[in-house]
Amino acid sequence: MNFSFEVAKTDAGGARRGRLATPHGTIETPVFMPVGTAATVKGLTQEALEELGAGILLANTYHLYLRPGHELICQLGGLHRFMSWPRAILTDSGGYQVFSLAELRKITDEGVRFRSHLDGSEHLLSPEKAAEIQLALGSDIAMVLDECIETPAPRDKAEAAVRRTTEWARRARNYFEVTALLPGDRPRYLMGVGRPEQLADYVTLGIDMMDCVLPTRAARHACLYTSEGRVLIRNARYAQDQRPIDPACACSVCRRYTRAYLRHLFAAGELTAAILATHHNVHFYLDIMGQIREAIEFGNLAKFSSEMRARYVAGPV
Amino acid sequence: MNFSFEVAKTDAGGARRGRLATPHGTIETPVFMPVGTAATVKGLTQEALEELGAGILLANTYHLYLRPGHELICQLGGLHRFMSWPRAILTDSGGYQVFSLAELRKITDEGVRFRSHLDGSEHLLSPEKAAEIQLALGSDIAMVLDECIETPAPRDKAEAAVRRTTEWARRARNYFEVTALLPGDRPRYLMGVGRPEQLADYVTLGIDMMDCVLPTRAARHACLYTSEGRVLIRNARYAQDQRPIDPACACSVCRRYTRAYLRHLFAAGELTAAILATHHNVHFYLDIMGQIREAIEFGNLAKFSSEMRARYVAGPV
């Protein structure tokens, strides 16, 4: 099986520099994974993602199960072929979406019974069902169903959720061992983080993989990330600003367009605003991770982390 | 001045094959011009428009005058530089938008007094003002202010509008002759048309230039144009259709994505749906015009026109 994880170096602070081999390519870690919830990263084509150097995307089990359906995607040759994405795909279990999006959810040891946020239809998501859906999608890295609880929570409630999730993981593992797809190696994946200045801190804690909607969602809300801090591009101060979003950035948007033009596109509510801003922000996140990997190799991640934080704590530039 | 128009061939039916030289490149006519109302073609980057082979775009005087303002664009180096578009730009006069969008418009011989649809502010658009705005934008081809009337209209009302527009054209010409920018040659431009099956008919009437929001607007509403007719991609029949939008099309969307995937993106309300659909439809229009130019050269435009009409009268495929 084309699946292995090797840690090439661990720095003094605990950060790991590794390589994760998947059936759809090898990923340099630590890695940031753009989020393609419904089999698309909002505002970016797969060509653009390839140009940006993304080696792995996240897709969402809950959303794809409800629409267009994992069986349909399976019939059409699996998720890679359906969305024309030849590189790796990680799917989450749907646990968080059932917790946060679905209606009338009821959690038992069996699984989660819920109503779809799309049409109110009733479904049961069990650890085995979550595994079955992800197998049908053909994801390279699957997640086990987890029980998500609201925080803060009393200790007994948190412990019960951990016990149930661990039992669900055992059942999912049994399901997969029918299918023998679980990797023996263990990269560490922290789901749904984070802000630009937090990425290096998580890596320092030994995290190998992260994903977050922040770069794409912030882009659609006119918040651009730069090497100097956040640029809130709707601000009137950028109306005549002929500089690129980030003069230090090499992305195709920064090579061509000005802040004045981006601001105009957002003011006019144009689709192209989201396209250009998303392209830049995803480039920024992937570029930061490249810098973090380099910093681990050269042993200066702590310095990189503190510089990054200093630029971002000051608020928008 | 880098501006000339030559008719290389006129076919038996009256269709003209020509070349329009502008300060920003030479355009093969008949030509279809994608509409970039607010200095962007909705859903396409300028890179994508270059890849599609668009030699000229339309931009809108009324919209750019109100936002971000022609003076700002002029300060930033003109419209080409503002939007990073090195090829030709045609701007309309704003006459139609004042007629259809603005509030409380009052038309006199002086011009049109109106309130902005954005903030209610009051403005006067005169023939001289429309010329001044387009000069500030630095458009390659400017339009004179026209009085638009509702149709059907009584003959005397239509005649009065023609008289007034002709007088306005004389005043605009005087304004430009201060500036000596009006071309001596006369390509024939029909504004705001048309459907795919109409393009060849207008060319047969001797039209050299056309523009229309139809390919981009229809794309955003899930209507795709193909060599076999219209594809309404939201239709359930496409849910498992693994063919490209148009098997006969060579565009980058048809080379990569399936109808099933496009249908899913529209069903999920994803941004990428508009991006991919717009790319295909604009390619389709520009490709039709290339076929029309070739048909004029080979003397078989009438055959092309009747075949095209036959495919489109039958309704969606």
B137 interface with A at CB cutoff 8 Å? no
In this predicted structure, what is the pLDDT of residue A176? Answer: 74
3-state secondary structure B72-125: HHHHCCCHHHHHCCCCEEEEECCHHHHHHCCEEEEECCCCEEEECCCCCCEEEE
The structure's pTM equals 0.91
Count of A-B CB contacts under 8 Å: 111
B109 is a catalytic site residue: no
B118 interface with A at CB cutoff 8 Å? no
In this predicted structure, what is the pLDDT of residue A184? Answer: 47
pLDDT at B184 over 70: no
In this predicted structure, what is the pLDDT of residue B3? Answer: 79
Of A42, A240, A264, the CB nearest to B272: A42
Of A38, A242, A270, the CB nearest to B40: A270
One of A92, A146, A201, A208 is an active-site residue; which one?
Answer: A92
B211 is a catalytic site residue: yes
One of B11, B140, B146, B211 is an active-site residue; which one?
Answer: B211
Q: Characterize the bridge pairing of strands A103-107 and A189-190.
A: unpaired
Span B129-180, pLDDT tens digits? 999 999 999 999 999 999 999 889 999 999 999 999 999 999 988 887 684 4
Span A182-238, pLDDT tens digits? 454 688 899 999 999 999 999 999 999 999 999 999 999 999 999 999 999 999 999
One of A201, A211, A246, A287 is an active-site residue; which one?
Answer: A211
Q: Which two tokens stand for residue B55?
A: 């030699």
d(CA A174, CA A176): 5
A99 interface with B at CB cutoff 8 Å? no
Of A83, A257, A270, the CB nearest to B38: A270
- Give, in order, the Cα–Cα distances in Å from A74 to each of A36, A48, A107, A134: 18, 25, 28, 10
- Between positions 266 and 295 of A, the ones with CB within 8 A of B are 267-268, 270-272, 274-276
Span A134-154, pLDDT tens digits? 999 999 999 999 999 988 999
Span A32-66, pLDDT tens digits? 999 999 999 999 999 999 999 999 999 999 999 99
Q: What is the mean pLDDT of residues A276-305?
A: 96
pLDDT at B1 over 80: no
Residue B240, min C-alpha distance to chain A (Å): 7
- Asked if A270 and B63 come within 8 Å (Cβ–Cβ), the reply is no
B239 interface with A at CB cutoff 8 Å? yes
Interface predicted TM-score of the whole assembly (ipTM), two decimals: 0.89
pLDDT-derived band at A175, boundaries 50, 70, 90: confident
Of B83, B257, B265, the CB nearest to A261: B83
Average pLDDT value over all residues in chain A = 93
Q: What is the DSSP string of A30-67?
A: SEEE-B-TTSS-TT--HHHHHHTT--EEEEEHHHHHHT
In A, which residues are within 8 Å of B47 by CB distance?
Answer: 252, 256
Q: What is the mean pLDDT of residues B104-112?
A: 93
B71 interface with A at CB cutoff 8 Å? no
pLDDT at B61 over 70: yes
Of B47, B252, B264, the CB nearest to A39: B264
| Strands of A209-211's sheet in order across | A31-33, A209-211, A189-190
Verify cis geometry, omega within 30 degrees of 0, for the bond prior to B23.
no
d(CA A235, CA A222): 9
d(CA A300, CA A289): 14
Task: Return the residue in B72, B76, B117, B118 with the most chain A beta carbons within 10 A, the one to mutate for interface testing.
Answer: B76
- Asked if A272 and B44 come within 8 Å (Cβ–Cβ), the reply is yes
Question: What ranges make up the beta strands (E) of A138-241?
Answer: 141-142, 189-190, 209-211, 223-226, 229-232
Span A254-289, pLDDT tens digits? 999 999 999 999 999 999 999 999 999 999 999 999
Q: Using alpha carbons, select from B204, B192, B158 the residue that is nearest to residue B17.
A: B204
Span of A177-181, A308-312, B218-222 with lowest mean pLDDT:
A177-181
Q: Using alpha carbons, select from B34, B12, B78, B27 the residue that is nearest to residue B187.
A: B27
Half-sphere exposure at residue B257, Cβ-oriented, CA atoms within 13 angstroms: 26
